[in-house]
Chain A
């Protein structure tokens, strides 16, 4: 046998192939390197990014709110250096121009991008569409912005969690203020789940409190002109107008409300609005009484809220809108829960979301086990008489409900909500 070469005639080595010692050493080194590197290769697989799906509108009438919702989500991720349990995390953001596309994009996120969870659904109709995909594909889903009751009520499911209080909670906070201004109400709402929910809950409230609804209209989403509706409202002479048009539609309505000289003549009130809706109206036309979920100047904001507000200001050079906070809070609860679950297994993430908590002053913010609705307080806010700061429109009057027991009562009992959750 030669010292430096071996000729093999059997096995994998072809006849006539000269196997030199250097080749053998090289091959052996390669094998050894493979064995030694194995744990690192396995770790590299574990180090593949965890993907979180985000569905916020990039087009349509809710796009202004959606921009802030998305920015809040990104800050939640950046605050943990884009990592969970040592693995990088990526956000995949898809559009929701209408409920059908929201549903298709939720399916894409699950099937193509293999996301561990989804956060999004700026309008209730979008959130309901995404929620159905969450149930079908067993994907954890957090809806930070949608307010229609069904989401955590009759259409609830084990995989869907909601941050914004539902319409009846907003109504019970705002309606007493409206009733104090008069008991003849005109209700003008959008012609979809959110608006219809508002119409029902405010009608129920005022009729139960001895008042009347002197007129009501359901307006198509994205209507460019409200003059015909405003003329009807003017003719009906109500004490208060209850609005239920969202985002860009509210901005358009308020501009035309002012343009037609109605600002200050008949009080206008609406629930669940965003800073951006009013910022777009401008100081000359802004008017109304509202419920909002968060306010960057609230002295009761938690240290985490303040840290978020500072991070937002640093990154975007403007105060954080309430919608940015909602996007942040929704994404934070999802990321925290994936970390708590210690895996991307959907059942474990759902269980972690069910036990996720955050102390907010004297109350604990958490998703209730029986309907996955987060309990939190709301702010009742009017508009400053004179607006001197282009970001500071709200004149906050109260933070309600007051006690933890009042909050429980306002959000409703398991029997009253009627959510049939189902198994994992």
Chain B
């Protein structure tokens, strides 16, 4: 039983970390830009397709460029479309990003077809990983390591660099940051790009584990929204704690209450929101009150 619990816990953590990557992207885009990005799942799919295309052409190493490509596309989208929404009715952002999601899906369908395309784990990373009672796969361990490195890097960047300080200040009071002479549009463009990069990274890592279709982002984005709600909108530690909690709740409910596996994370969200309506780490943000 110990072996089963340990293995379920590790696989739950891997799932949770992938959710965290998506949720952090959603969270920082909302925190800085005030936009609920309904196209986040489409950027996730875009990351998987870019990784697939690059790995088919140049090998798996090249697939690592896929998140950067997704981030650059995100910056382009922000420059062309998203920035027109700043300071406007929030509903407009929802509608535009929803339309953007449909557009990206349609483009993927146009170029790759609607049917699933094969995308496997690299051969060098196939096979089991056993450590004591823990049983998982090499690829999942790599997923775990990559997501942890990505999150630590992003946290360090936000916390310790001058640009990170501007981002944090801009998320609280963008007008003041602008008045200080800082080129806020450049900052916002960068933040949207980073959010998309994280979605693309999650797509690249999840692609070999699931069906790669233009609509593949759907099942991943819903838990990400749940994580953002549980962790607190705009909270970085909140997204991490909530993401891991959702991953673990999913894994353990499959083991101990399989009939409840589909609703377990929603039950967790309901319980947290009843106790803390702003989420676990949510704070009062004047901008959004």
A residues lining the B interface (CB < 8 Å): 59-61, 63-64, 66-68, 191, 217-220, 222-225, 227-229, 231-232, 235, 248-249, 251-252, 255-256, 258-261, 276-277, 279-285
* Chain B contacts for A258, CB-based, 8 A: 120
Contact of B220 among A68, A224, A227, A232 (CB under 8 A): A224
Is A67's CB under 8 angstroms from B113's CB?
yes
Is the beta-carbon distance between A225 and B15 smaller than 8 angstroms? yes
Instruction: Establish whether residues B209 and A282, one from each chain, have CB atoms under 8 Å apart when the complex forms.
Output: no
Known: A224-B210, A281-B118. A60 touches B215 (CB 8 A): yes
Contact B258 A217 (CB under 8 A): yes
Shortest CB-to-CB span from A253 to chain B, Å, is 9
Do A255 and B211 touch (CB < 8 A)?
yes
The answer to whether B117 has its CB under 8 Å from any CB of chain A is yes
Q: Quick one: which of A68, A258, A260 has the most chain B CB within 10 A?
A: A260
Of residues 92 through 134 on chain B, the ones whose CB sits less than 8 Å from some CB of chain A are 105, 113-121, 126-128
Interface-central residue, B12, B113, B261, by most chain A CB under 10 Å: B261
Supposing A64-B114, A218-B259, A255-B210 touch, asked if A228 and B254 sit within 8 A by C-beta, the answer is: yes
A68 to B262, CA, bound (A): 29
Residues of B within 8 A of A251 (CB): 116, 210-211
Is the pair A284, B255 in contact by a Cβ cutoff of 8 Å? no
Q: Establish whether residues B210 and A252, one from each chain, have CB atoms under 8 Å apart when the complex forms.
A: yes
Residue in chain B with minimal CB distance to A277: B116
Query: How far is it, in angstroms, between the C-alpha of A231 and the C-alpha of B255 when the chains are bound?
Result: 9
Residues of B within 8 A of A284 (CB): 118, 120
CB <8 Å contact, A252 and B261: no
Q: Which residues of A contact B261 (CB under 8 A)?
A: 219-220, 223, 228
B7 in the interface (beta carbon within 8 A): yes
Give chain B residues whose Cβ lies under 8 Å from the Cβ of A64.
114-116, 211, 213
Shortest Cβ gap from A61 to chain B (Å): 7
Nearest opposing residue in chain B for A323, CB measure: B115
Q: How far does the alpha carbon of A210 sit from the alpha carbon of B141 in the complex, in Å?
A: 41
Shortest Cβ gap from A35 to chain B (Å): 51
Q: Which residues of A contact B105 (CB under 8 A)?
A: 59
How far does the alpha carbon of A192 sit from the alpha carbon of B206 in the complex, in Å?
25
B120 close to A282 (CB less than 8 A):
yes
Q: How far is the CA of A256 from the CA of B207 in the complex (A)?
A: 11
Query: Complex: how many Å from CA A222 to CA B215?
Result: 11
A217 CB contacts on chain B under 8 angstroms: 254, 258
C-alpha spacing A263/B232, complex, angstroms: 41
Q: CB distance A260 to B137 under 8 Å?
A: yes
Report the bound CA distance from A60 to B211 in whole Å: 11
Contact (Cβ within 8 A) A252 B209: yes
Tell me the bound Cα distance from A72 to B174 in angstroms. 54
Most buried by A among B8, B119, B254: B254
Residues of A contacting B208 with CB < 8 Å? 255, 259
A276 and B115 within 8 A (CB)? yes
Q: Is there contact, CB below 8 Å, between A279 and B218?
A: no
Contact B209 A225 (CB under 8 A): yes
Q: List 27 A-B contacts (CB under 8 A).
A: A61-B219, A63-B213, A64-B213, A191-B262, A217-B254, A224-B15, A224-B210, A224-B220, A225-B15, A225-B250, A227-B140, A228-B250, A231-B135, A251-B116, A251-B210, A252-B210, A252-B211, A255-B209, A255-B210, A259-B137, A259-B208, A260-B137, A280-B118, A282-B119, A284-B118, A284-B120, A285-B120
Instruction: Give chain B nearest CB distance to A193 CB in angstroms.
Output: 15
> Which of A218, A231, A280, A282 contacts B7 (CB under 8 A)?
A231
A249, A258, A259, A284 interface centre (most CB from chain B within 10 Å): A259
Docked Cα-Cα span, A192 to B12, in Å, equals: 24
Q: Please give me the 3 A-B residue pairs with the lowest Cβ-Cβ distance, nearest first.
A: A280-B116, A282-B118, A220-B262
Q: Report the bound CA distance from A261 to B209 in whole Å.
A: 13
B115 — which chain A residues lie within 8 A by C-beta? 64, 67-68, 276, 279-280
* Pair B215/A232 contact, Cβ less than 8 Å: no
Neighbouring A residues of B7 by C-beta, 8 Å: 231
> Bound complex: CA of A261 vs CA of B139, how far in Å?
12
Closest to B127 in A: A261
Shortest Cβ distance from residue A278 to the other chain B in the assembled complex, whole angstroms: 9
A18 to B251, alpha carbons, bound, how many Å?
Answer: 92
Q: Is there an interface contact between B213 and A248, defined as CB atoms closer than 8 Å?
A: yes
B11 within 8 A of A: yes
Given contacts A60-B215, A231-B135, A259-B126, are A224 and B120 in contact (CB under 8 A)?
Answer: no
| Most chain A CB inside 10 Å of its own CB: which residue of B113, B114, B116, B251 | B116
Q: Which of A63, A220, A277 has the most chain B CB atoms inside 10 A of its CB?
A: A63
Asked whether A255 lies within 8 Å of B120 as measured between CB atoms, the reply is yes
**Chain A residues near B254 (CB-CB < 8 A):** 217, 228-229, 232
A235 cross-chain contacts in B, Cβ below 8 A? 4
Please name the residue on chain A nearest to B7 by beta carbon: A231
Q: With A59-B218, A259-B140 given, can you name 8 additional A-B contacts, CB distance below 8 Å?
A: A218-B259, A227-B136, A228-B11, A232-B4, A261-B128, A280-B211, A282-B118, A283-B118
For A260, the chain B residues whose CB sits under 8 A away are 128, 137
* A221 nearest CB across to chain B (Å): 8
Report the bound CA distance from A225 to B8 in whole Å: 12
B212 touches A (CB below 8 Å): yes
Cβ 8 A contact of B255, one of A219, A222, A232, A249: A232
Known: A228-B250, A279-B118. A61 touches B127 (CB 8 A): no
Contact A231 B219, CB 8 Å, known A220-B261, A279-B116: no
- Min Cβ gap A324→B in Å is 11
* B-side contacts of A219, CB under 8 Å: 261
| A191 contacts across to B, CB distance below 8 A | 262
| Complex contacts, B215 vs chain A, CB 8 Å | 59-61, 63
Give a binary string over B229-260; 1 marks a CB under 8 Å from any A CB, 0 the rest.
00000000000000000000011001100110
- Complex: A218 Cα to B209 Cα, angstroms: 20
Q: A284 vs B122: C-alpha distance in the bound complex, in angstroms?
A: 11
Residues on B with C-beta less than 8 A from A282 are: 118-120
Tell whether, in the assembled complex, residue B218 and residue A60 are in contact, meaning their CB atoms are under 8 Å apart: yes
Report the nearest B residue to A283, measured CB to CB.
Answer: B118
Complex CA distance for A222 and B216, rounded to whole angstroms: 9
A112 to chain B, nearest CB (A): 21
Q: Mark B133-159, 1 if CB is under 8 A from A, else 0.
A: 001110110000000000000000000
